[in-house]
Amino acid sequence: MQRPMTLGVRGVVVDDQGRVLLLRHTYTPGWHMPGGGIERGETALESIQRELLEEAGVDAAPADLRLASIHANHAFFPNDHVLLFRVDRWRQVEATQRGEIAETGFFDPLAPPEGTTAGTRRRLAEIFGGQPVSGDW
């Protein structure tokens, strides 16, 4: 039986110094960009807005969310895809659900912290380092 397709979102949140927001979850190792799965009835824009607000207290208007790339995530979740959004305009508010987030920080996108996941490193190299965009996460 074929598994249904799933869809997730991630956000490349850039601050006024050109650094990117990364976070560590309490339930999985490594530094990641904020994001998660699109819930039933949500649009992709609603999902990335919700995830940014929940995980990092990042409030961004739909007009400030730009689709950067689309990736298959089959290595981790069969038949899964990830929409990557770039967020350059946003405001900081209180995160609505911090329980699953161990730590957040802003980092140089071309020198992310030790432990940054391979997929996150690849996306940063594509966006900020001029590397070709891969279809795989």
Six-digit token string for 59: 């409030």
Q: State pTM to two decimals.
A: 0.93
Question: In the chain, where do the E strands start and end?
Answer: 6-13, 20-25, 31-32, 35-37, 58-59, 65-72, 80-87, 91-92, 101-107
Query: What is residue 1's predicted lDDT score, i.e. its pLDDT?
Result: 60
Mean pLDDT of the chain: 94
Query: What is residue 119's predicted lDDT score, i.e. its pLDDT?
Result: 96
Query: What is residue 96's predicted lDDT score, i.e. its pLDDT?
Result: 85
- Residues in the chain where the model's pLDDT stays below 50: none
Query: What is residue 5's predicted lDDT score, i.e. its pLDDT?
Result: 84
Residue with tokens 């956000």: 11
Measured between alpha carbons, how far is 54 from 48 in angstroms, rounded to an integer? Answer: 10
Amino acid of residue 127 = I
Cα–Cα distances in Å, from 39 out to 33, 64, 77, 92, 95?
A: 18, 21, 16, 24, 19
Query: What is residue 11's predicted lDDT score, i.e. its pLDDT?
Result: 98
| Domains of the chain in sequence order | 6-129 (3.90.79.10)
